[in-house]
Amino acid sequence: WPLHAPLIDAINRLKVERDAVILAHNYMTADIFHTVGDIMGDSLKLAQEAAKTEARVIVQAGVHFMAETAKILSPEKTVLIPDERAGCSLAASITGANVGAIREAYPDYPIVTYVNTSAEVKAYSDICCTSSNAVQVVEAIAAEWNTDTVILIPDEYLAKNVASQTGIRILTWKGSCEVHEQFTVEDIEALRAAHPEAMIITHPECPPDVLKAADFAGSTGAMAAYVKDHQPQTAILITECSMSDNVAVENPGVNFVKPCNLCPHMKRITLRGIYEALRDMKHEVHVDPLIAERAKASVDAMLALPS
Ligand code: 13P
Ligand code: SF4
């Protein structure tokens, strides 16, 4: 990426000057992911790393809820997000007040919230989960509360997909990911017909019939690991567009067919934005300390489970 070289050099110099680490989600464009990212991965891995990094500054190359999670876990650190508008349709679908009302209506059932939510929503819940540990978290909290019913919000597809894998009754919310909700079973069937040799791998934020038609479903980290372990002749990743580009770099022997939907929020993060964030120490993410403390209990409960 010759045009990017001066920016990449400047970012890497600023990282040393500022004592900063860049946490890059798997949906970052390849120019970010493979050049300036220090820790790359799915939501769970980025949260784990945010909790243990020794750097003074965390730059979140991802969306706002990820930066908030980093701040909740490391309140003494400066957390920067290169573009404050990098939101998420799931996080926007529910408020803390909504969760408070759910708690009042169903006081006997534990509330699990997906990490793709605001700090306030996390503060109202009992435990968080990501797509890589949702089944494990739901099973653990059901056993702890001795209940056959768990509330898993706000992603209705994730909830349905977890319910089908656990046998636990799950109450949910009407949120969805604007990227993954667009894939249909007809898309999968057409891809299967066109590429019968392909391994079709999808994400649990997709509708349940899409998961049933695919060969494997998992978090973005699990998707990447699945390709690495199986080395299929052809891989089709049913997810955000940058994912295949990033996984392809690490699997040169695999042919990638790339049907995909862009996440407009993830795509707000650019190399230039990261450079300016480090140059000007902007945009700092703040979380009300009271909310942060309660939200941290939910995130810590998740991180305490064996991974
Ligand atoms: P994971 O990386 O945890 O699978 O999450 C996917 C996603 O959509 C994050 O915004
Ligand atoms: Fe949110 Fe979906 Fe974008 Fe992830 S891909 S940030 S879940 S809208």
pLDDT digits (tens, 9 = 90+) for 109-151: 999 999 999 999 999 999 999 999 999 999 999 999 999 999 9
Share the mean pLDDT of the chain: 97
- Given this model, what pLDDT does residue 7 score? 94
Instruction: For residue 146, give the 3-state DSSP assignment.
Output: coil
- Ligand 2 touching residue 88 (CB < 6 A): yes
Q: Are the CB atoms for 96 and 116 separated by under 8 Å? A: no
Q: Are the CB atoms for 84 and 283 separated by under 8 Å? A: yes
* Residue 154 bridge partners (DSSP): none
- Nearest atom in ligand 1 to the alpha carbon of residue 41 is 2
- Nearest atom in ligand 2 to the alpha carbon of residue 91 is 1
- Given this model, what pLDDT does residue 2 score? 47
Residues 6+ apart with CB under 8 A from 162: 134, 135, 138, 152, 168, 170, 204
- Ligand 2 touching residue 25 (CB < 6 A): no
- Given this model, what pLDDT does residue 306 score? 87
Pocket test for ligand 1, best of 26, 158, 181 (most atoms within 8 A of CB): 26
If you measure from the C-alpha of residue 265 to the centroid of ligand 2, how many angstroms do you get, rounded to a whole number?
7
Ligand number nearest to the C-alpha of 260: 2
pLDDT at 73 over 50: yes
| Domains delineated in the chain | 2-87+267-286 (3.40.50.10800), 91-177 (3.40.50.10800), 180-262 (3.40.50.10800)
- Given this model, what pLDDT does residue 3 score? 64
- Residue-wise pLDDT for 146-172, tens only, equals 999 999 999 999 999 999 999 999 999
Residue 154: asked if its preceding bond is cis (omega within 30°), the reply is yes
Residues annotated in the binding site, as ranges?
25, 43, 88, 114-116, 131, 177, 203-205, 220, 263
Q: How far apart are CA 176 and CA 215, in angstroms?
A: 22
- Give the tokens for residue 101: 């009302």
Query: What b/e sequence results for 152-168 when a residue is b if at least 16 CB atoms lie within 10 Å of its CB, and e otherwise?
Result: bbbbbbbbbbbbeebeb
- Residue-wise pLDDT for 282-300, tens only, equals 999 999 999 999 999 999 9
- Give the tokens for residue 193: 């017909």
| % residues pLDDT > 90 (the chain) | 97
What are the two backbone dihedrals, phi and then psi, of residue 147, each rounded to the nearest 5 degrees? -135, 155
* Closest Cα to atom 1 of ligand 2: 88
- Given this model, what pLDDT does residue 4 score? 82
Q: Report how far apart, in Å, the C-alpha atoms of 90 and of each of 20, 51, 248, 253 are.
A: 29, 23, 27, 35
- Given this model, what pLDDT does residue 1 score? 45
Residues 6+ apart with CB under 8 A from 17: none
Sign of the alpha-carbon dihedral angle for 108, 114, 118, 119:
positive
pLDDT at 307 over 80: no
- Given this model, what pLDDT does residue 294 score? 98
- Ligand 1 touching residue 202 (CB < 6 A): no
- Residue-wise pLDDT for 204-256, tens only, equals 999 999 999 999 999 999 999 999 999 999 999 999 999 999 999 999 999 99
- Ligand 1 touching residue 130 (CB < 6 A): yes
- Nearest atom in ligand 1 to the alpha carbon of residue 115 is 3
